[in-house]
Amino acid sequence: MSTHIGANKEDIANRVIMSGDPLRVKYITEKYLDNYKLINEVRGMLGYTGYYKGERITVMAHGMGIPSAGIYTYELFNDYDVDYIIRLGTAGSYDANFNVNDLAIVKDSYSDSVYENNLDGSDYETIESSKKINDKIKEIAKEKNINIKEARVYSADNFYTKDDITDEMREEHGCSLVEMESFAIFSNARVFKKEASCILTISDSFITHEELSSEEREKKLDEMIELGLDTIISL
Q: Helix (H, G, I), strand (E, B), or coil: what is residue 201? A: strand
Burial class (CB in 10 A: 0-12, 13-18, 19+), 1: middle
Looking at the DSSP bridge assignments, the partners of residue 154 are 110, 178
Distance CA 161, CA 140 (A): 37
Q: CB of 188 within 8 A of CB of 72?
A: no
3-state helix, strand, coil in the chain (%, to 5): 35, 30, 35
Note if 34 is an active site residue: no
Q: Helix (H, G, I), strand (E, B), or coil: what is residue 82? A: coil
User: What is the distance in angstroms between the CA of the first residue and the CA of the last residue of the chain?
Assistant: 25
Burial class (CB in 10 A: 0-12, 13-18, 19+), 72: buried
The active-site residue, picked from 11, 95, 108, 204, is: 204
> What residue type is 234 in one-letter code?
S
Q: CB of 217 within 8 A of CB of 19?
A: no
State the catalytic residues.
Answer: 204
